[in-house]
Structure 1
Amino acid sequence: MDIAFLGLGGMGTAMARNLVEHGHTVVAWNRSPEPAKALSALGVGIGETPAETVKHCEIAITMLADDGAVEAVSLGENGIIAGLAKGATHISMSTISVALSERLAEAHAGQSQNYATAPVFGRPDAAEAGKLFIAVAGEAGVVEKIRPALEAMGQRIFIMGEKPSQANLVKLTGNFLITGVIESLAEAFALTTKGGIETAKVYELLTETLFAAPVYKTYGSIIRDGSFSPPGFKLLLGLKDNRLLQQAGEKLETPLPFAAIIRDRFLAALAHGDGDLDWSAIAKRAVDDAGL
């Protein structure tokens, strides 16, 4: 397939590389040109603007940091909607708000373009290995057309519904659950440490018995070792996702009291200068609260 890939951060670069390795033809765009140039050795073309990049492609994929970036690249001057052919598909793989996803769906429909969402679960190492889990939403026919591209980047695809914003809501919910795991592990480690028990022993017991899921092992080991840098996912982005989750909850009239607690952990982390660390650094606040 002819694919445009826009957004070459730590995740996007690995995802674009996997598309090439699975035989797809890729042209890339990034706000700063250096990451795109690094892929040119693989035969990846480099677009000058988003509109020019997507002009001759069946699929345009965005993997960008936030709503502002996705809105500018998609709806702005020389954006995706201005260049994408009728019948071609924009796949938004970024973690964005439900509200923006709904706006994008409407804008693409107005130009006879397709739109689907496919946000991912997995850190950069999973993206590198093509082992992401992908939540997909869009019209059934569109999802089937884009499936080969998604399968090149992930180990399993989960279809959430035919309304694209549904996958965005699921992604925000999943990230919320991860922060809940981080917070609960942090509190458990702080309590047991204060009780004179080695954190390594507690981690071993928990992750080899009742809590053997990857999310407990991954974040438990980060918290245990205090290895918050370099970040796999920046704390500032975690705060952004928490904010988008609460916005969705307000619109759907669904109280999310624990999300407010997590928000305060993020804000406290920022106040302590931890904004550039991994989002699991909110665990440091439980240590402070315990007087350790």
Structure 2
Amino acid sequence: MSGHSAERSPYKEAVWIGTGNMGLPMAKNLLRSGIRLGVHNRTPQRLAPLLKAGAHAIADLRGSLSGTPLVFTMLADDAAVKETVLKEGGLLDSLPQGGVHVSMGTLSPGFVLELSKTHTERGQILVSAPVFGRPDRAEAGTLTIVAAGPQKTLESLLPLLEHLGSPVFCVGEDPSLANHIKVLGNFTLAGLLETLAESLSLARRVGVSPGQLVEILDTALYRSPVFRNYGQLMAREDFQPAGFRMRLGLKDVRLVQKEADRVDVALPLADLLHAGFLAGIHRGMEDWDWSALGQVRAEDAGAARKK
């Protein structure tokens, strides 16, 4: 992080919606900027750590945002955003004219484009700012953020976004550009998981230590914390609790397949990943970490599940 404070931002108060595995630590870091923060979640009990840290609860968005020009959402998918933003009395109806909605979840680019148009029709602004990183990086404030939206709005938000992560990549004025990059990034990462899963599956069958293989490959070829962390999870068969659930991994693969279909691009690896994640879900791994793709491939090779 760069150390910017809310004093550098024109925004002195904001609302945060969505306090799941990622949203909760991100909201905590935003609080540390010194901004006055209201928080809302469909499960109010999840707000307790934020209230203890100095946030105030917002039970109903209707009528609560008239004086709040800035709202962040960290929601899992298009459906959750539709429920929170587009329903009667939701964020769209409650955000004042000129207000800014910063959407930080992984959403489909097409939906974000439509959402941006809908906000514009109401005189509101949408900034899309999805993130790369797991909950530990959210906690540390070291997420990588990809942001897109009107340039002046992005500039005004940077001091706040830099409390959530660094670097912040500003990629253009069309909010959907950020989501294209996020979807492609997650697809690339899922491809790495598939390669790891297959390599470790074979390693076990031929007597190679999975942990040693990960260490050697990371040292010799990758030197990547992403490779190392996911490789270690697979080597230890340590898939719970999930940093990123397999169900969400399947969602992200479907997002990239949808975009590829739209522009007639073949993605054979996406089809393989789709089948792998779906197999894991059918085997009871829906809420396991998506690196449990390693377990799927191990079972495909005849390995017994670790008790």
TM over 0.5: yes
The question of whether the paired residues in 2 share the 8 Å contact of 1:66 and 1:95 is answered with yes
Please, which of 190, 198, 207 is the counterpart of residue 196 of structure 1?
207
Displacement, 1:33? 0.6
The AA in structure 1 aligned to 2:157 is: I
Matched-pair contact (CA < 8 Å) for 2:26–2:141: yes
1:250 paired residue among 261, 265, 271: 261
Tell me if structure 1 keeps the 8 A contact 2:201–2:294: no
Deviation at 1:53, TM superposition (A): 4.3
Does residue 1:225 correspond to 2:236, yes or no? yes
Say how many residue pairs are matched: 292
Of the three residues 207, 212, 215, the one matched with 2:223 is: 212
**Helix, strand or coil: the match of 1:9?**
coil
Q: What is residue 3 of structure 1 aligned with on the other side?
A: 14
Among candidates 126, 136, 153, match of residue 125 of structure 1 = 136
Q: Report the alpha carbon displacement of residue 51 of structure 1 after superposing the two structures with TM.
A: 3.7
Distance 1:51 1:269 in 2: 40
- Match among 70, 85, 90 for residue 101 of structure 2: 90
> Residues 140-151 of structure 1: matches in 2 within 5 Å?
140-151=151-162
Distance change in 2, residues 1:52/1:255 (3 Å): farther
TM-score of the superposed pair, with normalisation by structure 1: 0.97
1:1-292 aligned at under 5 Å gives the runs 1-292=12-303
Tell me whether 139-148 or 223-232 shows the greater mean CA deviation.
139-148
8 Å Cα contact 1:28-1:53 kept in structure 2:
no
For structure 2, the 5+ residue unaligned runs are 1-11
SS for the counterpart of 2:291 is helix
User: What is the Cα deviation at residue 42 of structure 1?
Assistant: 2.0
Quick one: which amino acid aligns to residue 270 of structure 1? Answer: I
Deviation, structure 1 residue 286: 1.7
Q: Quick one: which amino acid aligns to residue 118 of structure 2? A: A
* Alignment deviations for residues 5-33 of structure 1 (CA, whole Å, 9 cap, x no partner): 00011111111111111111110100011
Q: Percent identity?
A: 37
* Residue 157 to residue 48, structure 1, CA distance change in 2 (3 Å): same
| Residue segments in structure 1 that go unaligned for 5+ positions in a row | none
TM-score, normalisation: structure 2 = 0.92
Q: What displacement does 1:290 show?
A: 2.4
